[in-house]
Amino acid sequence: MTRLDRDDLKRFAELVSAYGARQERWPAAERAWASSLPRTSPEARRLVAEAAEVDGWLDSLMVPPASPELQARILADAPAFARGGRHKSAPPSVLAEAVQQLRGRLAANPLFRPAVRPFYAVAVAALAGLLLGWGGVFSRTVTPGEEAEIVAMAFLGGGLERYDLGELQ
């Protein structure tokens, strides 16, 4: 088996694992390609057989229909969920409560009013620029030979050994 065949088989295994053994469930773009593999590969036939066994097991499961009371509750709560709400019996999210409390505290603090936020943005950008610029002070010096190599790699697509640059070396 060639490397391409292993890759094809891996892709086929992912397809069968995700969509099952029935070809009509496979994406249309993959169906023509994938349908030929079980005819030519025993490994692909084994994968389809395993997936067919799982499909049969899943198809045999019987899910009882929802009771009329449950259907009524779901339909009654649907508008609340559509608006981003939650069910009355659902516990409030701890994270949502913490975020709400933090927003309340920040709104009450004069240092976090909306009018002050642009100044914070400028301060953070200036601090980042200072830190990045200061890092360059401690970097080592590039020699002229290294500089020529960097220029050749950046602008000419390779090292100096590919070009006759004469005086740059």
Residue of 15, 45, 40 lying closest to 30 (CA atoms): 15
- The one-character DSSP state at 115 is T
Residue of 4, 20, 114 lying closest to 58 (CA atoms): 20
Q: The whole model's pTM is what? A: 0.39
In a 10 Å sphere around its CB, with 0-12 CB exposed, 13-18 middle and 19+ buried, how is residue 11 labelled? middle
In a 10 Å sphere around its CB, with 0-12 CB exposed, 13-18 middle and 19+ buried, how is residue 12 labelled? buried
Q: Is residue 18 part of a domain?
A: yes
Per-residue tokens: 97:
């409560």
Rounded to 10 degrees, the C-alpha dihedral 125/127/131/133 comes to 60
Query: 3 or 59, which is more confident?
Result: 59
Least confident of 16-25, 86-95, 138-147: 86-95
Q: Is residue 84 part of a domain?
A: no
Q: Is residue 47 part of a domain?
A: yes
Q: Is residue 36 part of a domain?
A: yes
41-78 pLDDT, tens digit each? 889 899 999 999 999 988 888 788 889 999 888 888 77
- Helices marked H in the chain: 3-19, 28-40, 42-60, 68-82, 94-108, 117-137, 144-155
Task: Give me the domain span that covers residue 53.
Answer: 3-60
| Overall number of domains in the chain | 1
Q: Is residue 70 part of a domain?
A: no
Q: Is residue 110 part of a domain?
A: no
Q: Is residue 45 part of a domain?
A: yes
Q: Is the dihedral of CA 77, 82, 87, 90 positive or negative?
A: positive
Q: Is residue 75 part of a domain?
A: no
Average pLDDT, integer, range 12-31 = 90
